[in-house]
């Protein structure tokens, strides 16, 4: 069995940026992100809304543990590669705590992380595995579905992002950066892409060489946070007027 799992994990079609599978994932993301929350809010009962939310949180959360289990079965689990020290992985694991425990601070952090880093990753994914490989779906769950879940909770359950939450999200982002950097030094790893850019290409390619792209990314992240907040405010005001 370990050999079969290993062969499966390491044999795949190469993902192409803005190829067919990429465009399909983008179109489905916008379709679901725009339709599901508003349909649920307007037409579904409270119990149905809750059931959908539980499924969303579950599928976002479970993708990373499944991956770790598969790597362990294959005998290829590596501390340099498979710890939850990339932002999306950590956010996926935090989501149930934010939602089920109704922890507003965690939700604020995930709102800004999700509508900046994860949203951007929808358009510039740093993956190599194409449809229908597990890693393709894992990436979709970790990024697309996380953003959809956040939008769902804002629209359906009236979770509200705040400027105070924005500040906490930025502080948390830098705290995570420091933790990832420490592990990178200890393990000689490249978590959070702090030591080198993603091999598959990303927005970081346009931010200069190491280490300057890290500083530029800090500024870009902060601008994304403010953009997410003002977009929420604009849409919220528009919906109230209508």
Residue range 17-60, pLDDT digits in tens: 899 999 999 999 999 999 999 999 999 999 999 999 999 999 99
pLDDT of 208-236, one tens digit each? Answer: 888 899 999 999 999 999 999 998 998 77
What is the rounded CA–CA span in Å between residue 42 and residue 74? Answer: 46
User: Stretch 131-137: mean pLDDT, rounded?
Assistant: 95
In the prediction, which pLDDT does 18 show?
92
Across the range 68-92, mean pLDDT stands at 95
Question: To the nearest whole percent, how much of the chain has pLDDT over 70?
Answer: 97
DSSP 3-state assignment of 14? strand
Q: Note the pLDDT of residue 238.
A: 52
User: Which pLDDT score, from 0 to 100, does residue 241 have?
Assistant: 43
Residues constituting the chain = 242
CB 14 within 8 A of CB 128: yes
pLDDT value for 118:
84
Q: How confident is the model at residue 200 (pLDDT cuts 50, 70, 90)?
A: low
The whole-number average pLDDT for the span 74-100 is 94
What average pLDDT score do residues 180-203 get?
90
Determine the pLDDT at residue 236.
73
pLDDT band at 72 (very low <50, low <70, confident <90, very high): very high
Task: Pinpoint the alpha helices (H) of 82-199.
Answer: 87-100, 104-113, 119-123, 134-139, 146-156, 163-187
Provide the mean pLDDT of the chain. Answer: 92
For every residue of 46-99, which 3-state class applies, written as one string? HHHHHHHHHHHHHHHHHHHHHHHHHHHHHCCCCCCCCCCCCHHHHHHHHHHHHH
Residue 205: CB atoms within 10 A of its CB come to: 11
Which 8-state DSSP code applies to residue 172? H
pLDDT value of residue 242: 46
| Range 181-188, long-range pairs (CB < 8 A, 24+ positions) | 183/83, 183/85, 187/79, 187/80, 188/80
* Tokens 């194409």 belong to residue: 130
Per-residue pLDDT, averaged over 153-157, amounts to 93
When pLDDT is cut at 50, 70 and 90, the band that residue 121 belongs to is confident
For residues 169-175, average pLDDT: 97
């Amino acid at each position: 069995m370990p050999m079969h799992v290993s062969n499966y994990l390491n044999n795949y079609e190469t993902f192409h940026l803005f190829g067919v599978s990429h465009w399909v994932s983008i179109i489905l993301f916008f379709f679901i992100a725009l339709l599901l929350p508003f349909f649920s809010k307007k037409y579904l009962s409270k119990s149905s809304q809750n059931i959908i939310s539980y499924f969303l949180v579950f599928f976002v959360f479970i993708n990373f543990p499944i991956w770790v289990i598969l790597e362990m079965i294959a005998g290829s689990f590596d501390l340099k590669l498979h710890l939850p020290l990339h932002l999306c992985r950590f956010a996926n694991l935090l989501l149930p705590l934010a939602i089920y425990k109704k922890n507003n601070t965690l939700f604020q952090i995930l709102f800004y992380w999700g509508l900046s880093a994860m949203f951007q990753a929808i358009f510039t994914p740093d993956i190599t595995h194409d449809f229908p490989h597990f890693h393709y779906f894992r990436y979709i769950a970790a990024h697309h579905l996380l953003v959809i879940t956040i939008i769902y909770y804002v629209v359906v359950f009236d979770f509200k992002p705040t400027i105070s939450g924005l500040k906490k999200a930025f502080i948390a982002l830098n705290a995570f950066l420091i933790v990832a950097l420490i592990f990178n030094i200890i393990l000689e790893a490249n978590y959070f892409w702090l030591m080198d850019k993603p091999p598959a290409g990303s927005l970081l390619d346009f931010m200069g060489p190491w280490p300057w792209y890290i500083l530029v990314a800090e500024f870009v992240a902060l601008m994304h946070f403010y953009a997410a907040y003002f977009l929420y405010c604009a849409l919220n005001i528009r919906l109230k007027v209508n």
